[in-house]
Amino acid sequence: MSLPRVDPPPFPPPYPPGNPRFGSGDAVRVRPGIAPGHIRTPWYLRGKTGVVERVCGAFGKPEELAYGRDGGRVPLYRVRFTMQEVWGGKASRPDDTIDAEIFEHWLEAADAP
């Protein structure tokens, strides 16, 4: 597993974060799940492990919002991945990184079974 370095931002989230389970620097894995409907967790990151860069705040759950339902607010994170983790041997520069916003219900601790 190839994890990137993350420097925690020297400021708090500008939006109410709710009660986030993870914090900057935590290693997390994107759930490899498949779900119907409107999802904002890209395919290429499912099952990949990265490090929380920052907590953005808590925002509406896209799977519910897309159908006009109020699914409450869920903590949203920016998670950083190495190219090595995402693309494996096909990565042209393994240490370059990708940051993406992932909602908490799509994340689990990297050491979860």
Interaction of residue 64 with other proteins, rule CB under 8 A = no
- CA dist 21 and 105 (Å) reads 10
Nearest distance from C-beta of residue 39 to other proteins, angstroms: 9
Interaction of residue 14 with other proteins, rule CB under 8 A = yes
Return the exposure string of 25-46: e unless at least 16 CB atoms fall within 10 Å of the residue's CB, then b: ebbbbbbeeeeeeebebeeebb
- CA dist 77 and 53 (Å) reads 7
Q: Which of 78, 85, 104, 107 is the binder for other proteins (CB under 8 A)?
A: 78
Interaction of residue 59 with other proteins, rule CB under 8 A = yes
Q: Which of 28, 51, 55, 102 is the binder for other proteins (CB under 8 A)?
A: 102
Nearest distance from C-beta of residue 89 to other proteins, angstroms: 13
Q: Which of 23, 25, 42, 47 is the binder for other proteins (CB under 8 A)?
A: 42
Cβ atoms of 52 and 79 closer than 8 Å: yes
Q: Which is nearer to other proteins, 95 or 109 (CB)?
A: 95
Task: Count CB-CB contacts under 10 A for residue 90.
Answer: 8
